[in-house]
Amino acid sequence: MNGLRAYRLDVPRLLADRGIDQIVAFTVPLTVRFRGIEVREGTLLHGPEGWGEWSPFWDYDPVESAAWLRAGIEGATQRLPAPRRDRVPINVTIPVVDTDRARTMAAESACKTAKVKVADPRSDLREDCQRVAAVREAMPDGAIRVDANAAWDVSTAVRAITELDAAAEGLEYVEQPCASVAELAQVRRKVTVPVAADESVRRAEDPLAVARAGAADLLVIKAQPLAGLSRALEVIDAAGLPVVVSSALDTSVGIGLATHLAAALPALDHACGLGTIRLFHGDVSASPLLPVDGYLVPRRGEVDVEIEEPDADLCPRWAQRLGLTVAALVERS
């Protein structure tokens, strides 16, 4: 069932001058509560190269949202980087669900890697370990990584990582166990499990600080927060660390652009977190970008949904937010 709804917005003059000729706001329910939300909202921008996506979360201010807008403009108006590979390995994302559902999601994914969400307020460490163990049962030969979304302090992280590593019979890595770069560096010195940085890259004024501090073994890269594929490639090159390209809970438009980022990397040693369309009750495309046998083929996501009459709640909110973000974009240009 496709629960997605789509509505047209007016195009601000500044975006029209940059080649944007359509903006579509969307809302789609999620299959499970994820990142504290049950409905995903955002906008899609159309330009001469196709569709881009601008879908910052509601807790992001206009300045932070401006980076996401740059990514949306770039996606719609700029050519994609040349690919180095014709398919991208994908992990299955396991939200905070019970063990039976976690086991089923992992088994049905056909992926060889699973990313398990942990450290959520709705789940304690014992339940997290049980969820990880259930995924291991479903994927006896697969790789398992966990994502704490910066929830722990250093001592809590060390204890939790040790227990989760045992439950997984070996973790591939732990993603963003703590909030600060200094804490990540401390954790990395205290555990044998590799540490990946996500929020310390995409929400940082200086996305390279974590690499300079030796605080991570690899980086999780999301194109929208880093202002698009071009800037993401610059950060990856400067950091000199292995990379996992991941979704910002994008539609097939954002996922499609991210697959091209992953396909353009000189090396890709880890499965990417781009299988999140499975978390949506619907998509903007009639041919959503869903992994097949654990892989995605890089392609642009198309938008082929029925455009409805403007929604009295959604459209004014996104129009106002767009105006504030465009102003922030101009100010920082």
- What is the separation, in whole angstroms, between the first and last Cα of the chain? 42
Does the annotation mark 112 as catalytic? no
Three-state DSSP class for residue 254: helix
Q: Is 283 annotated as ligand-binding?
A: no
Helix, strand or coil, per DSSP, at residue 146? strand
DSSP 8-state code for residue 305:
-
Calpha distance 293→291 (Å, rounded): 6
> Which residue bears the tokens 């450290």?
119
From the candidates 112, 115, 190, 222, which is the catalytic residue? 222
CA–CA distance, 333 with 327 (Å, rounded to integer): 10
In the sheet that holds 174-175, the strands lie side by side as 92-94, 113-117, 143-147, 174-175, 195-197, 218-221, 243-245
Q: Angle at CA 129, nearest 5°, toward 125 and 130?
A: 115
According to the annotation, is 311 in a ligand binding site? no
CA–CA separation, 71 and 83 (whole Å): 19
Q: Is 53 annotated for ligand binding?
A: no
Strand-pairing partners, residue 25, are: 7, 43
Q: Cβ–Cβ contacts within 10 Å for residue 240, how many?
A: 9
DSSP for 81-139 reads: PPPS-S-EEBPEEE-S--HHHHHHHHHHH--SEEEEE---TT--HHHHHHHHHHHHHH-
Instruction: Output the six-digit token pair for 311.
Output: 């929604």
Q: Six-digit token pair at 49?
A: 């190269």
Strand order across the beta sheet in which 307-308 lies: 50-54, 37-47, 22-34, 5-9, 307-308
Question: How far is it, in rounded angstroms, from Cα 42 to Cα 44?
Answer: 7
Residues of the binding site: 147, 175, 198
- Positions annotated as catalytic residues are 117, 222
Binding annotation for Mg(2+): 147, 175, 198
